[in-house]
Amino acid sequence: MARYILQRVFAAFVALWILTTVTFVLMHAIPGGPFTRERNVPEAVMRNIEAKYHLDDPLWQQYLDYLGGVVRFDLGPSFKFQGQTVNDFIRRGFPVSAELGIISIILSMAIGIPVGIISALRQNKWQDNVTMLVAIIGVSVPSFIIAPLLMYVFALKLRWLPPAMWGSWRQVIMPAVALALLPLATFSRLMRSSMLDVISQDYIKTARAKGLSELAVTWRHAVKNAVMPIVTYLGPLIAAILTGTFIIEQIFAIPGLGRQFVWSVNNRDYTTILGLTIFYGAFLLLMNLVVDIIYGFLDPRIQIAGRKD
Amino acid sequence: MDNLLRVRDLKTSFFTYAGEVRAVDGVNFDVAGGEAVAIVGESGCGKSVTAMSLLRLIPEPGKVLAGSVELAGRDLVKLKEREMRHVRGNDISMVFQDPMTSLNPVLTIGTQLMEAIRQHQKVEKDKARARAIETLEMVKIPSADKRLAQYPHQLSGGMRQRVMIAMALSCHPKLVICDEPTTSLDVTIQAQIIELLKDLKKATGMSIILITHNLGVVAGLATRVIVMYAGKIVEYGPVNEIYGIPQHPYTWGLLRSVPRLDAAEKRRLVPIYGQPPDLLKPPVGCRFNPRCDHAMKICREQEPPFVPVNGNGQHHVACWLQHPAAPAVAGFKKGVPA
Ligand SMILES: Nc1ncnc2c1ncn2[C@@H]1O[C@H](COP(=O)(O)OP(=O)(O)O)[C@@H](O)[C@H]1O
Ligand SMILES: [Mg+2]
């Protein structure tokens, strides 16, 4: 087990190094620097600034410096925000994005998975048809439509909830719901098809032939097998949602990582773009690793090297 | 011998989009206490549906339409679902065809064995555990107590089928239905499993329904054979008569097409020509007539009645060749008419 994890961690570091390199090269291949402005800056001032940020060093030197920083979890200073580092942005934005993300994921799982199970058990009955229709809407209507819609109804018309910003629990509700809708719909569809698949398996027939109740058949025999594909989907989902979402954070004016990223792109804040990309990549790799390990525990057929029984 | 199981006029259909599939169409048979009866026929003849009808586990869109299934005098068709659950695994249990897929891959052997025991006998966990080990020893699985913590994928196909049999036996059922228990196993393992079933039958006094499409595996275990074709029984009788004086052309075909474990000399295997009929629209008259070498005009028009083959009243066949006016068929030993 330890050996397996070590191998995976090593592979993750290699992937992260490749990601860093590619992003670094791409950033430098884009024409126009961070200090390029319409307004002409005097030659001397420009050189001073470049010297301060080591932009006058040869590219390989800059690359090695940067890599050295990444290894020490130091993603460097922001080009655009005086006295701020990329680490500061993450320290401020990530908890906000993560809080919103965790609430959304819990919401989407708590509703999506049971709905999928019920749908499968009532296959082609009205319960199934209704939920699958709603799920299709959930999957196909983008959040930039859902979010303003929610805002219009619950904030402007009904005046039940504050329209935007961050701080109180009442401000969490709308963005969390808007963010949860897509994964919720995906969870219910995944769970439904996975359950349908499992229910037609031979071992379910065996369980019924033993005289078990439908509840025992569903819970002990079907659900545990059916959640496997869900776990696979969970890794990338957690990484994507917890690191902030551009659209929802933008619409609800939430000071998370997603909004920070959009701001950095608009302002050509190269180090921040680079740093946030690497942070996202690292987080994604970590989540996939965690999911793989959980999967290994859930499914005894997966032979993790070193596991003996 | 008293009859443990009495099946009368059992009819099970699947209501598909294309129409009604009459998978089991008026089946009658008995199983005596301590007896093993074989149901044979090509695949798609309705053997499994018959078995699942006895347990009332027909999946949608199927339905048991008519008939009675009396187990020790109690009609299972009339039981409430809750009462039926107490029959499944307790009075009648089942061993399925494919041991690779019939055990739950994410639960241990112990969990799967013990849940059957604890479902029907309200016993403590350690009692159930002891019983689980006992049944594993009955089916001759070595180091039984260590197996409880193992998962199905850690066992071979033959071992898994033994686990399935142990599970079926765990609540001392009166009847065990084995649906093609050896079909997906190696030939040597097949013989071992049949041998095991024979021993267990002797040791426990249980009855067995052995479903197979291979007449070869029947001889060692069953005392009577039921031949099914297209949802109906076409011939039934004692095993030696089915082998010795088979009466139905379909039974001849089955015997010619299947290698026998006990065959003394090597015989040439001849497959039965053609396919079993579509049960959405079975042929008029005798259902076997389109594939029968001896089909006569009447075979295409009227369904043949069951007639006794022997004076002993044990062997019956539904075939027009039994009619006194039917021409003689070369090489065919007609049973002694009653
Ligand atoms: N779930 C189902 N839906 C529709 N038809 C079915 C279903 N299960 C079985 N059948 C029909 O019942 C017939 C008998 O099947 P089965 O009893 O499984 O055959 P076998 O003799 O090989 O065990 C098949 O020909 C098939 O058309
Ligand atoms: Mg079958």
Q: What is the pLDDT of residue A40?
A: 67
Asked if B106 lies within 8 A of A225 by C-beta distance, the reply is: yes
Kindly state whether residues B215 and B265 are assigned to the same domain. no
Torsion over CA of B130, B136, B141 and B143, rounded to 10 degrees? Answer: -10
Q: Which residue of B has its CA nearest to A299?
A: B106
State if pTM tops 0.95.
no
Q: Which two tokens stand for residue A8?
A: 């995976």
- The better pLDDT of the pair B30, A3 is held by B30
Q: What is the pLDDT of residue B202?
A: 92
Kindly state whether residues B77 and B147 are assigned to the same domain. yes
Check if B226 has its Cβ closer than 6 Å to any atom of ligand 1: no
Asked if B115 lies within 8 A of A216 by C-beta distance, the reply is: yes
DSSP reduced 3-state for A54: coil
Report the run of H or E that residue B1 belongs to, with start and end. Answer: none
When divided into structural domains, chain B yields a total of 2
Nearest ligand to residue B17 Cα: 1
Q: Which residues pair with B208 in a beta bridge?
A: B36, B176
Provide the percentage of residues in chain B whose pLDDT is more than 90.
72
Q: What is the pLDDT of residue B332?
A: 66
The mean per-residue pLDDT over the stretch B124-150 comes to 93
A213: chain B residues, CB-CB within 8 Å:
85
Q: Give me the CATH topology for the region A93-267.
A: MetI-like fold (1.10.3720)
| Radius of gyration of chain B measured on its C-alpha atoms | 21
Mutate to test the interface with B, among A123, A210, A225, A304 (most CBs of B within 10 A): A210
Kindly state whether residues B112 and B11 are assigned to the same domain. yes
Residue-wise DSSP of A127-151:
HHHHHHHHHHHHHHS-HHHHHHHHI
The mean per-residue pLDDT over the stretch B39-50 comes to 94
The C-alpha of A112 sits at a distance from chain B's nearest C-alpha, in angstroms, of 23
Residue type, A127: Q
Mean pLDDT of chain B: 90
Across the interface, of B98, B102, B119, the residue whose CB is closest to A211 is B119
Distance CA B197, CA B185 (A): 15
Q: What is the pLDDT of residue B335?
A: 54
Asked if B102 lies within 8 A of A298 by C-beta distance, the reply is: no
Q: What is the pLDDT of residue A7?
A: 86
Residue B290 per-residue DSSP state: G
B325 contacts: CB under 8 Å, gap ≥ 6: none
Q: What is the pLDDT of residue B266?
A: 60
Kindly state whether residues B40 and B160 are assigned to the same domain. yes
Mean pLDDT of chain A: 85
Domain boundary among B207, B222, B237: B222
Kindly state whether residues B129 and B145 are assigned to the same domain. yes
Kindly state whether residues B177 and B210 are assigned to the same domain. yes
Q: Which two tokens stand for residue B216?
A: 């070869």
Check if B171 has its Cβ closer than 6 Å to any atom of ligand 1: no
Q: How confident is the model at residue B265 (pLDDT cuts 50, 70, 90)?
A: low
Kindly state whether residues B143 and B47 are assigned to the same domain. yes
Q: What is the pLDDT of residue A35?
A: 60
The C-alpha of A207 sits at a distance from chain B's nearest C-alpha, in angstroms, of 8
- The better pLDDT of the pair B270, B200 is held by B200
Q: Provide φ and ψ at A97, rounded to 5°.
A: -60, -40
Kindly state whether residues B191 and B306 are assigned to the same domain. no
Domain boundary among B222, B247, B276: B222
Q: Which two tokens stand for residue A142?
A: 């983008």
Mutation probe of ligand 1 site: the residue of B11, B49, B227 with most atoms within 8 A of C-beta? B49
In chain A, domain spans? 93-267
Kindly state whether residues B214 and B241 are assigned to the same domain. no
Task: Return the closest-CA partner of residue B248 out of B230, B260, B222, B269.
Answer: B230
Asked if B115 lies within 8 A of A309 by C-beta distance, the reply is: no
Cα(B179) to centroid(ligand 2), Å: 7
CATH of the domain at B82: 3.40.50.300
Give contacts of A 145-204 with B, CB under 8 A: 201-203
Kindly state whether residues B249 and B197 are assigned to the same domain. no
Asked if B101 lies within 8 A of A213 by C-beta distance, the reply is: no
Q: Which residues pair with B16 in a beta bridge?
A: B19
From residue A302, give the alpha-carbon distance in Å to each of A226, B154, B156: 16, 11, 17
Kindly state whether residues B110 and B127 are assigned to the same domain. yes
Kindly state whether residues B233 and B181 are assigned to the same domain. no
Q: What is the pLDDT of residue B67?
A: 93
The mean per-residue pLDDT over the stretch B189-207 comes to 92
Residue B123 neighbours by CB distance under 10 Å: 14
Q: Which residues pair with B179 in a beta bridge?
A: B211
Q: Which two tokens stand for residue B215?
A: 């007449």
Provide the percentage of residues in chain B whose pLDDT is more than 70.
94
The ipTM (two decimal places) reads: 0.89
Domain boundary among B222, B256, B277: B222
Long-range CB pairs of B153-158, under 8 A, 24+ apart, other chains included:
B153/A300, B153/A301, B153/B105, B154/A309, B155/B109, B157/B99, B157/B100, B157/B184, B157/B185, B157/B186, B157/B189, B158/B99, B158/B185, B158/B186, B158/B189, B158/B192, B158/B193
Q: Which domain holds residue B314?
A: 228-337
Q: What is the pLDDT of residue A52?
A: 73
Check if B96 has its Cβ closer than 6 Å to any atom of ligand 1: no
Task: Return the closest-CA partner of residue A155 out of A133, A138, A177.
Answer: A177
Asked if B93 lies within 8 A of A209 by C-beta distance, the reply is: yes
